[in-house]
């Protein structure tokens, strides 16, 4: 099953899947999606966690061993498979397909990878992972959507801002959501709940950060 990142909470409210894929290039949103899945898993009794970093040259037998090695003291475990390049190679592809085919309710798997191109997304291993669980697509926040995204983040901390302030902040953080998150959090610490003025929005400062040049 495929979900957008903004649909994942409603899905988890029903039942956790045995396997999740978090795919996207926005680091902040990918981290938040994974954090939310981990939190839900811990509430469901998954008390151990193992992280495996892999690529096309890895020894993929470690994935099989991690999946089979249940602790004597914890029956439910989280296995995270991180594929920073998004290319598992031939051996990895077979290992992922086999892992997907043996999904278990006692082992929750989170596979994290970047946004795949059409070939990667239609590969046998990617389709096997999606068929076995939930594929979460992390959106890319383009410049036109950035002011609204900042407004939503401010609302989470009971703050709001006029459009000109949102545009000002967006210009300062364009292309760097991690920086945007830090600056929004800073505004939450500096000012009380309510509407921010443009002057307060201008207190956003990013050391050493330069606005990307338009081509």
Query: Tens digits of per-residue pLDDT, 101-142?
Result: 988 888 999 999 999 999 999 999 999 999 999 999 999 999
Is 143-201 in the same CATH topology as 2-137? no
Q: Hey, what's the torsion of the CAs at 79, 20, 132, 6, to 10 degrees?
A: 170
* Short-list 191, 195, 199, CA closest to 168: 199
Residue 77: strand pairing partners: 48, 107
> What distance in Å separates the CA atoms of residue 173 and residue 176, rounded to the nearest whole number?
6
Considering only 97-106, 123-132, 155-164, 192-201, which range has the smallest mean pLDDT?
192-201
Query: Tens digits of per-residue pLDDT, 14-48?
Result: 689 999 999 999 999 999 999 999 999 999 999 88
Task: Classify domain 143-201 by CATH architecture.
Answer: Orthogonal Bundle (1.10)
Nearest 5°: the CA angle 84, 48, 111 is: 25
* Short-list 17, 73, 74, 72, CA closest to 41: 17
CATH class, domain 2-137, is alpha beta
Q: What is the mean pLDDT of residues 53-67?
A: 84
Considering only 12-16, 40-44, 161-165, 195-199, which range has the smallest mean pLDDT?
12-16
Q: Where are the domains of the chain?
A: 2-137, 143-201
9 has pLDDT over 60:
no
């Amino acid at each position: 099953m495929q979900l957008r990142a903004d649909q994942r909470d409603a899905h988890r409210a029903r039942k956790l899947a045995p396997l999740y894929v978090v795919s996207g290039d926005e680091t902040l949103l990918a981290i938040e999606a994974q954090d939310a899945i981990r939190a839900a898993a811990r509430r469901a009794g998954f008390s151990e966690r193992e992280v495996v970093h892999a690529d096309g040259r890895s020894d993929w037998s470690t994935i099989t061993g991690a999946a089979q090695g249940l602790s004597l003291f914890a029956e439910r475990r989280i296995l995270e498979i991180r594929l920073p390049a998004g290319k598992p190679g031939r051996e990895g592809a077979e290992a992922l397909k086999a892992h997907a085919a043996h999904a278990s309710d006692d082992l929750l798997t989170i596979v994290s990878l970047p946004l795949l191109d059409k070939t990667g997304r239609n590969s046998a291993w990617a389709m096997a992972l999606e068929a076995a669980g939930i594929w979460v697509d992390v959106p890319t926040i383009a410049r036109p959507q950035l002011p609204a995204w900042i407004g939503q983040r401010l609302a989470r901390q009971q703050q709001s801002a006029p459009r000109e302030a949102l545009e000002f902040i967006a210009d300062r953080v364009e292309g760097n959501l991690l920086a945007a998150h830090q600056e929004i959090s800073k505004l939450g610490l500096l000012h009380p709940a309510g509407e921010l003025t443009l002057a307060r929005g201008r207190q956003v400062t990013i050391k050493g950060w330069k606005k990307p040049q338009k081509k």
